Amino acid sequence: MTDGPLRVAILISGGGSNMVALVRSMTGDHPARPVLVLSNDPAAKGLQRAAEMGIPTAAVDHRPFRGDRAGFEAALLRPLLAARPDVICLAGFMRILTPAFIQQFQGRMLNIHPSLLPKYPGLHTHQRALDAGDTEAGCTVHEVIADLDAGPVLGQARVPVLPADTADSLADRVLVQEHRLYPEVLRRFVAGDRTPLIL
């Protein structure tokens, strides 16, 4: 058990809007603090946003490792382990991690997924909800296990699907809820509370 606040590493691939929401929430009496923002894309906008907020950043470009998933993950582990994280938050992180990687952090790695799991694991979740004629959609924060998007649910937030919705308009509405849900679930998680939060 590290003394002082719990250390949270956040993995991103793009804009990092969920990372920003998480970083902004870890202040005051929050028992955790962000210690690293790590991306598989050195050009990820979220790295710049993290640096502007004074958070240490690192990037390991996955492209040179094409096909060598283990090699990429070994490179990713170096800055990640150097940050001595207690909790890892995947936030818009778009690489699939191997069971070997995940088992090193099982029970302390979270992810946010833009659907009401167990519906629509994987990609294109909003278009799939529209194609199915769903009247509601949303997002899920879950513990990460080897099976993709299948770990214990820690929180969900729902939004209505409107008749004129496109995948983009629905994604925008869900993203607002992601930014509410993820920080709230993380706050409970680091306090040892794993009862699912339904917003």
Q: 179 an active-site residue?
A: no
User: Using the rule CB under 6 A, is 114 a contact of ligand GRF?
Assistant: yes
Shortest CA distance to 195 belongs to which of 155, 166, 135, 137? 155
Segment interacting with ligand GRF, rule: CB under 6 A, options 11-19, 31-39, 148-156, 186-194: 11-19
17 Cα distance to chain centroid: 10
Residue tagged 């690489």 (tokens): 95
Burial class of residue 140 (count of CB atoms within 10 Å of its CB; 0-12, 13-18, 19+): buried
Closest-by-Cβ residue to ligand GRF is: 92
Q: List the structure tokens of 8.
A: 């949270």
Segment interacting with ligand GRF, rule: CB under 6 A, options 10-18, 67-75, 129-137, 143-151: 10-18
Of 18, 57, 140, 156, the one binding ligand GRF by CB under 6 A: 18
**Beta bridge partners of residue 160, listed in sequence order:** 136
Of 14, 31, 56, 196, the one binding ligand GRF by CB under 6 A: 14
User: Using the rule CB under 6 A, is 137 a contact of ligand GRF?
Assistant: no
User: What are the angstrom distances between the C-alpha of 5 and each of 26, 32, 134, 190?
Assistant: 10, 5, 41, 10
x/- binding map, residues 21-60, to ligand GRF, per CB under 6 A? -------------------------x--------------
| Closer to ligand GRF by Cβ: residue 17 or 35 | 17
Within the chain, where are the H helices?
17-25, 45-52, 69-82, 99-103, 125-131, 167-190
Task: Summarize as ranges the residues that interact with ligand GRF (CB under 6 A).
Answer: 12, 14-19, 46, 91-92, 112, 114, 139, 171, 175, 178
Q: Which residues are part of the catalytic machinery?
A: 113
